[in-house]
Amino acid sequence: MVSIVMPAHNREKTIVRAINSIIDQTYKNFEIIIVDDFSTDNTSKIISSIKDQRVRYFCLSKNQGAAAARNYGIRKAKGELISFLDSDDYYEEDFLKESVRILEGTSPNVGFMWTGIRFHFSKGNSFEEVWKPQFIKSSFFTFLNELKIGTGSGITIKKEVFNNCGFFDEALPAAEDTEFFYRITQSYDYTFSARVLINIDKSGNDRMSKDFTNIGKAYNSFIPNYLQIIDSNEKLMRKFYYKMMWLNYHLGDKKEARMYYKKIPRRLNTLKIKLVRTLFEIFPKRAAAVMHKNLSF
């Protein structure tokens, strides 16, 4: 059985599409666990109108965030495999069939997989992406070098991974999926399908936020755990110390930002890095943050 965990908060306009994309799967041995993160719209009424015994609905007593909602759903799951689907996204009909087919043939050290993604934007534009990481040394080292997936990326995880490695960190204000993948890849390997089997709705403003404050707080919480391995590789040093530099500038912590800047190997200290540092050292934080975002995106 596959348990599909779907956190939901005020998704009355999109949740039926998401649920139907699961009900219409070619693979039928599944349950849908909807965790309503204290919605204030008609989400609960809409879900109650769906008459399918495989749909299990739970409502949290207060708004706790996506990590808490996913963890609640994982604890309620009966399946050997757990997939995630956000309530404004939707699967292609073979998503579960392909995910089960691939994971069934893996060794015990493989803990999770993902599929290709189709992104949909507000003006009707879309594009497809399949992350095919270049394996470097280990799964953990590979993910430190490059990480292009999250819980919305057609992820399916063996339930034993949660039992052995823990759940999503609810104390983090952001980047809980990043921290989770860094943690589990120290114990489990991965696989993936190149088929595009999940559709991601990027039309909503809430999915396009570029506020780095919470990301900075989250990274300050878990990246220091990996400094030893980061210091063993110059590419990782440049990547993480540059990112930690500008995240702490966004937080207004110049002392911490300067500390990470000094850790960047001199020969890898590019013009862009120097420019970003100069922006935050010369201009007020808010103005520098705007200029940095324009420079980065």
Measured from the Cβ of residue 250, the count of other Cβ atoms closer than 10 Å reads 22
Segments in the chain forming alpha helices (H) = 15-23, 43-48, 66-76, 95-104, 139-145, 159-165, 176-184, 213-222, 227-230, 234-251, 254-263, 271-282, 285-296
pLDDT at 208: 35
Question: Which residues fall within 8 angstroms of residue 68, CB to CB, at 6 or more apart?
Answer: 37, 60, 170
Say how far apart CA 28 and CA 108 lie, in whole Å.
Answer: 24
Question: Which residues fall within 8 angstroms of residue 148, CB to CB, at 6 or more apart?
Answer: 129, 131, 133
Strands (E), the chain: 2-8, 30-36, 55-59, 81-84, 90-91, 110-120, 126-129, 156-158, 189-201
Chain CA centroid to CA 240, Å? 18
pLDDT above 70 covers a percentage of the chain that reads 97
Please say if the pLDDT value at position 211 is more than 80.
no
Structure tokens, 237: 């040093």
pLDDT at 295: 82
Measured from the Cβ of residue 231, the count of other Cβ atoms closer than 10 Å reads 13
In the predicted model, what is the mean pLDDT of residues 28-50?
96
pLDDT at 289: 92
In the predicted model, what is the mean pLDDT of residues 263-268?
93
pLDDT at 122: 86
Structure tokens, 279: 């922006």
Query: Under a CB-based contact definition with an 8 Å cutoff, are residues 10 and 41 in contact?
Result: yes
pLDDT tens digits for 51-75?
A: 999 999 999 999 999 999 999 999 9
Say how far apart CA 222 and CA 169 lie, in whole Å.
Answer: 10
pLDDT at 124: 85
Among 30-39, 71-80, 105-114, 286-295, the minimum mean pLDDT is found in: 286-295
* Confidence category of residue 297, pLDDT binned at 50, 70, 90: low
Structure tokens, 200: 């991601």
pLDDT at 28: 97
Please say if the pLDDT value at position 207 is more than 50.
no
In the predicted model, what is the mean pLDDT of residues 169-184?
97
Say how far apart CA 62 and CA 269 lie, in whole Å.
Answer: 46
Please say if the pLDDT value at position 296 is more than 80.
no
**Amino acid at the residue 2:** V
* Confidence category of residue 46, pLDDT binned at 50, 70, 90: very high
Q: Strand, helix or coil at 258?
A: helix
In the predicted model, what is the mean pLDDT of residues 183-194?
98
State pTM to two decimals: 0.94
Chain CA centroid to CA 263, Å? 28
Say how far apart CA 9 and CA 88 lie, in whole Å.
Answer: 10
pLDDT at 80: 97
State the Cα angle at 156 between 218 and 227, rounded to 5°.
30
pLDDT at 105: 87
pLDDT tens digits for 2-21?
A: 999 999 999 999 999 999 99
* Confidence category of residue 210, pLDDT binned at 50, 70, 90: low
